[in-house]
Chains A and B, each alone.
Chain A
Amino acid sequence: MTDLNQVIFSNINGQDPWSIQAYLSSGGYQTWKSILTDQINKHSPEKIIDAVSKSGLRGRGGAGFPTGKKWSFMPETSQQKYIVCNSDESEPGTCHDRDILKYNPHALIEGMAIAGFAMGATVGYNYVRGEFMIECFPRIEQALHEAYELGLLGTNILDSGINFNLHNFLGAGAYICGEETALLESLEGKQGKPRFKPPFPANFGLYGKPTTVNNTQTLASIPKIIQNGPEWFSSFGTEKSPGTIIFSVSGHINKPGNYELPLGISFSELLDYAGGMENDKSLKAVIPGGSSTKILPGEIIQNCTMDYESLQKAGSALGTGAVIVIAEGSCMVELLKRISRFYFAENCGQCTPCREGTGWLYRILDRITQGNGKINDLELLVDVANRIEGNTICAFGDASAWPVQSFIEHFFDEFEYMIKNKGKSIAA
């Protein structure tokens, strides 16, 4: 079997891995210290961005945008620039950032410091979702405190002339704040509503200043990439999906949890890591990248490898790497209704299609499960979803439409059965 935990979680097996002592003894902050001592030749900002580009690291927040490319968008300017970490991990099924914040917070802090240095951002914010208030926030606050204590953050760090100040910020618990511009609005103290783009954050971000927003897992991968070199990182995974990713596997499996594995492993291998199907049931379907991504029937995903291209080719996406496994016997109508309820409750209400459409979708699904469905409801559901998709300010509209489209595409019979049988599920 492939080795687990080779990059981000490579140092979390000892005692209290979240403490700075444990992090330092496993070689932590060496990259940052090396930058502080040789910021001109060995570790110029250009070289760091170049290394990140070469490593092939792609954003782990869901969209999979090449990180090095994103960093290169930051303009040369005398203005204040910001690096913001998106720890508003809210995509249903996803829980890898939670474990990073909890068990390896210093990797994130070091990654943010390196990213800030590479892009000329002297201030960083780590936006942590409100629900992490009790579990993760004290850990990351403690870690930040420790890093400041050792003088690894602040002004003129270790007499290097480099400044980097980092702040943790606790959100108030809104899914939409995981959208990077809604996150910036929320960070500014406003309602978390996405901005229309362009301008993109690299030009007009936090407080109108150039800003890069990266996901927690993305940033926590950085120290090791710089330390061991981009070739080392890209030796994991596939050519187009290099590196490792933390899969959050949940659903009808024996060992739900986070598994850091190289991209491109087969789905069945991942399923083996997760202990196989619960009660030896057969696999019905998988939502491969968080609830927004399109569902794939078991027979399709069983032939997929877990990487960006394979899942896209299969008609879905790697998303956040949150793999939701669904066993035979599950009612797909109820499942879609539950997912649609989420998007109905979490849309920001700013633009018309989500505000008006998500409630419409949910209520139609609700009446189908109540036994009041009408035979043309399925056509209506798909049409409403199509009218939301692509017509909104941010990607939330797409995220609310894709499950509806894909569930009905792959499990049309189940929906039709329920409508014709006054709410009785085919799975029951």
Chain B
Amino acid sequence: MSDNKVNITIDNVLHSVDAGRILIEITDELGIYIPRFCYHKKLSIAANCRMCLVEVENSSNALPACATPVTDGMVIDTLSNSTKTAQQSTMEFLLINHPLDCPICDQGGECELQDLAYAYGKNNSRFDLQKLTKPNDDLGPLISTDMTRCIMCTRCTRFGSEVAGIQELGTMGRGETSNISTFIKQTVNHELSGNIIDLCPVGALNNKPYRYTDRTWEMDQIKSVSPHDCVGTNLYMHVKNNKIKRIVPMQNENINETWIADRDRFGFDGIYSEDRLTTPLIRTNGTLTNSTIEDSRRQLNAIISSLIQSNKTDKIAALISPSVSLNEQFIFSNYLSQLGIKNIDHRISQVDFSGDTLDPLFPHLNIELKTIGEMETIFVIGSDLRRETPLISHWVKKAADKGASIHFIDIALREYHFPITDYMISDTESLVENIGLVVKAAASIAKMDVPQHIQEQLNNLTEPTVTHNQIARLLFTKTNTLLLNGLVSRSHSDFSLIRSYINILASLTNSNLGELTSGANSVGAYITGCIPHRNLLGQSSEPGLNALEIASSHHDLLILYGLEIDDCLYDQLLNEALKGSKKVVVFNSFMESVINEHADIIIPINTAYESKGSFINLTGQVQNFNQELLMPNNYYSNEELLMDLVNERDLEIPNFNDFINDLESFIDQSIANRNYIKEFPVKASNSSPVVTTNTFNMYNIDPILRRSKPLQQTKESQSNT
């Protein structure tokens, strides 16, 4: 027996286990079930429900398995009479005031209390007095309460203080009138707050939009991936009659643990919005009239044919949403390139493209998401992290809670619920300079030369301050360090220079680097060639127009795929482009008045929630989903629709399966071989306008979220309209 092992006996069987571990963890691993309510493996120990009491030899009382560390020679009996009596006693106490009207409770059928009551409860209650009731709270549009059902396990309050970092719910009062509530009529607003619905073991905290709509045993469970950000959160969709009824987390310890963001949970509501596009529309005599898929496809083909015949493929441009599936990107991009159309882009939130030639093969994070939690120093540059990627913010919080130093530089002060070492606020223009000063400090600490043209930039800067030096020093001295470059940087008019600074900083300090992107599949868009300067799998090509140039000019044919005006950072410009282009063809899931005003052909497509395909998240992980059964009406799938366009012209596009077979090794090699030193773009021309915004609504970032009624009623949406 090694030093850190102890022998314990559970139900007459001897086990050698790690010393000091909590008993319930060990029994869970051994498959020995001990009932529990307050215990949750992701939360701190409360030991308040008393359901996990077990008999331990030489202890006068039964001990809570969730709070009892194992010691050598411990003898535990999980089946003894005294264990049973203790557990049955707790169950009896829990049930005396809990309503026994499971058939009308939303949690019925998936209730931990209901399940355990079958095993540990009595058929008849000895309690013949009046049950207590408790008042409900308005927690906002996402979570409804039925506080009379609450058993005070405090999982929800612990989630607030430990995971979210802000205790929006707390315990009030004492004795039997204790209840869970908010601080003076506040609502629950944290971006991960919906997780308390899953944590609640009873029907006290419910999914408000889903409540009273369906029963858990009538739904099918389909694995899915969130289409709302680059994290690739794993989800389960609960589906009945081909309709999504609710979404819950799928555990993935590398990506999202057991948590999902509220927009992953409640966003899907948008796909059932009233302005969902169901019929193709073609403009005839100035008005849009209903058409068929075949007709609209034929018309689009006719427009393309005439432009090809008159040698005007350079007058065709396409913008595609960064959130469509890899499969669609693949066909769409190859379709256009086979036609000789080079003007394609998905980077509708970027304005500075001067570094395109030195772009990495795709923007990414070179470590696993869970590894962020192990970092000792994290420097977040130009990012509204909680809104951009709630779960990456969660991982950064994990690192911060373990004592990592966290540094921010941003154009606005934003609220974070974890300890931050320093937070530099600069205006939009001096953001670049401040990042440069950290590089300058790092270069002087590292005593390394930086490339000449960057050195010239640095020479023009003032001297680094204490803060710049501290960040540089910590990045340099700590082993596990990470730079996160956010969407504020990405939409900055000097993005290329910021990026080169950050690349140099990463190589000077040997730091990991993560580049956040908008949309769920920017990585896929890069790899499939939905960018003007690269083809499939990163092959360079003669550049076409980038997103800003497409939006800034008039075309003979402008194609929009899966995006809306509001998705584009330069929506005014895009509006002008729509107005000025001769023909506008739109693939969209929703009716959008601005686009419809200028569109000549509108073809309905399925949303990601109703598609088969894959997303590649920012760590390069390809995640598949297959939800075609959810297609509304009898649409073509998006793939079929696009393949019909390809086949209509007898185009030969590469085989998708071959592409998929090569994909993973391509991604792995690209990340492994990335050489930051070679990616030093020159100084930007600085001619493009500064359009970086300092506030945005995290529930207004894609067409689906924009239409999700519950999310649009949140405080976030109401205060950011």
Whether the Cβ atoms of A353 and B90 lie closer than 8 Å is yes
Contact of B177 among A191, A349, A387, A393 (CB under 8 A): A349
Q: Known contacts A196-B64, A351-B49; is A356 also within 8 Å of B177 by CB? A: no
Residue A363 at the chain B interface, CB threshold 8 Å: yes
Residue A345 at the chain B interface, CB threshold 8 Å: yes
Q: Known contacts A351-B50, A360-B129; is A390 also within 8 Å of B152 by CB? A: no
Complex interface: stretch among B26-34, B92-100, B521-529: B92-100
CB A337 to nearest CB in B, in angstroms, measures 15
* Among B126, B171, B175, residue most surrounded by chain A Cβ atoms (within 10 Å): B175
Q: Contacts of B90 on A, CB cut-off 8 Å?
A: 352-353, 391
Residue B409 at the chain A interface, CB threshold 8 Å: no
Whether the Cβ atoms of A345 and B175 lie closer than 8 Å is yes
CB A357 to nearest CB in B, in angstroms, measures 6
CB B9 to nearest CB in A, in angstroms, measures 21
Residue B399 at the chain A interface, CB threshold 8 Å: no
In the complex, the chain A residue whose C-beta lies closest to that of B50 is A352
In the complex, the chain B residue whose C-beta lies closest to that of A379 is B126
Residue B62 at the chain A interface, CB threshold 8 Å: yes
Q: Contacts of A351 on B, CB cut-off 8 Å?
A: 47-50
Measured between alpha carbons, how far is A315 from B151 in the docked complex, in Å? 35
Whether the Cβ atoms of B50 and A347 lie closer than 8 Å is no
Contact of B61 among A347, A367, A391 (CB under 8 A): A391
Q: Contacts of B89 on A, CB cut-off 8 Å?
A: 353, 387, 391
Measured between alpha carbons, how far is A87 from B129 in the docked complex, in Å? 38
Q: What's the interface size class on B, roughly? A: 35 or more
Q: Known contacts A351-B48, A351-B50; is A357 also within 8 Å of B93 by CB? A: yes
Residue A359 at the chain B interface, CB threshold 8 Å: yes
Whether the Cβ atoms of B50 and A196 lie closer than 8 Å is no
* 0/1 string, A119-153, CB within 8 A of B gives 1: 00000000000000000000000000000000000
* Among A349, A356, A358, residue most surrounded by chain B Cβ atoms (within 10 Å): A356
Residues of B51-99 whose CB lies within 8 A of A:
51, 53, 60-62, 64, 67, 69, 85-86, 89-90, 92-94, 96-97
Measured between alpha carbons, how far is A351 from B37 in the docked complex, in Å? 11
Whether the Cβ atoms of B47 and A393 lie closer than 8 Å is yes
* 0/1 string, A370-412, CB within 8 A of B gives 1: 0000000000100000010011110000000000000000000
Whether the Cβ atoms of B175 and A346 lie closer than 8 Å is yes
Q: Contacts of A349 on B, CB cut-off 8 Å?
A: 152, 171, 173-178
Q: Contacts of A357 on B, CB cut-off 8 Å?
A: 93
Whether the Cβ atoms of A352 and B151 lie closer than 8 Å is yes
Whether the Cβ atoms of B129 and A191 lie closer than 8 Å is no
Whether the Cβ atoms of A344 and B175 lie closer than 8 Å is yes
Whether the Cβ atoms of A356 and B176 lie closer than 8 Å is yes
Residue A8 at the chain B interface, CB threshold 8 Å: no
CB A404 to nearest CB in B, in angstroms, measures 15
Contact of B176 among A176, A198, A355, A367 (CB under 8 A): A355
Measured between alpha carbons, how far is A191 from B154 in the docked complex, in Å? 14
CB B87 to nearest CB in A, in angstroms, measures 10
Residue A348 at the chain B interface, CB threshold 8 Å: yes
Measured between alpha carbons, how far is A347 from B49 in the docked complex, in Å? 15
Residue B212 at the chain A interface, CB threshold 8 Å: no
Contact of B48 among A176, A350, A363, A367 (CB under 8 A): A350
Whether the Cβ atoms of B94 and A352 lie closer than 8 Å is yes
Measured between alpha carbons, how far is A49 from B13 in the docked complex, in Å? 44
* 0/1 string, B114-151, CB within 8 A of A gives 1: 00000000000011010000000000000000000001
18 A/B residue pairs, CB under 8 Å, sorted by A: A196-B64, A345-B175, A347-B175, A349-B171, A351-B49, A352-B48, A352-B50, A352-B90, A352-B152, A356-B176, A358-B175, A359-B176, A367-B129, A380-B126, A387-B92, A387-B93, A391-B50, A391-B90
**Contacts A196-B45, A198-B69, A349-B152 supplied; 19 other A-B pairs, CB < 8 Å:** A174-B174, A191-B171, A196-B46, A196-B64, A196-B67, A349-B176, A349-B177, A349-B178, A351-B47, A351-B48, A352-B50, A352-B90, A356-B94, A356-B96, A358-B176, A364-B129, A390-B61, A391-B50, A391-B90
A contacts, CB < 8 Å to B = 174, 176, 191, 196, 198, 344-353, 355-360, 363-364, 367, 380, 387, 390-393
Q: Which 3 A-B residue pairs are closest in the complex by CB-CB distance?
A: A349-B178, A387-B89, A390-B61
